[in-house]
Amino acid sequence: MTKTSDNFEETIARFHKLLEREDSVITWNDKIPDPDNVSRLRQIDISIRRDDSLTIIECRIHKKIQDVKWVEELIGRRVSLGADTIIGVSNSGFTAGAIAKAKAFGVILRDLNLLSDFEISAWGLGSRVYITYLEFQDISLQFEMPASNDLEKKLSSAERYVRKSASNLLELFQQFVNSLGDKLKIDFTCPCKARF
């Protein structure tokens, strides 16, 4: 292995750490026992374990386009190591024969030269991932008091306090909702209204 290929593999491993489920275990430069000779460890560029499944990722950083021979090696590796899925990642692309063979045998190919802007952002290149979770359930704010000039005179000090507190509560809730909209960069209007 060279420093360049190590960096390439580590970068692909980081992409998958961004994309995989939280409970997945992604290991760069993994060593797994050969099922036919358990005393012999086999080197895997990247392994992904989730639940009871194993995905193997093999990476190639070559000047030459990858051909059907490498895809056949990937097929053999998947079978030999009992992996559920195998992914081949190349920086130089694949021949038409390699693509056809991979499709026929369920090998996933990633050609870094053909990544679209959408795929690049999905892989995490040059972008940031923000995840925000908001949940409001069964929220109801209702403040009702009959409108009357005479009523103000009749309210006790406790009732005036309740009225003022209700108004402050609605204002506080509206500020919260507005701050969410600012942070999420969306218009987020509060449907709540206070009526007095």
Domains of the chain: residue spans and CATH: 3-123 (3.40.1350.10), 131-196 (no CATH)
134 token code pair? 């908001």
* Between residues 185 and 92, the one the model is more confident about: 92
**Under a CB-based contact definition with an 8 Å cutoff, are residues 86 and 116 in contact?**
no
C-alpha to C-alpha distance for 46 and 56, rounded to whole angstroms: 6
> Could you tell me the two tokens for 187?
């218009």
Please say whether the beta carbons of 86 and 74 come within 8 A: yes
CA distances, 93 to each of 10, 58, 77, 98, 107 (Å)? 19, 14, 20, 10, 14
Give the residue with greater pLDDT, 56 vs 163. 56
Structure confidence by residue, pLDDT tens digits, 54-92: 999 999 998 899 999 999 999 999 999 999 999 999 989
Residue 126's pLDDT band, with cuts at 50, 70 and 90, is very low
Residue 125 has pLDDT above 70, yes or no: no
Short-list 58, 51, 66, 67, CA closest to 16: 58
CA distance 65 to 71: 12
Query: pLDDT value at position 78?
Result: 95
pTM here is: 0.59
- 145: tokens are 């008091």
Instruction: Compute the distance between CA of residue 173 and CA of residue 163 in angstroms, rounded to an integer.
Output: 16
Please report how many Cα atoms fall inside a 13 Å half-sphere around the Cα of residue 119, on the Cβ side.
7
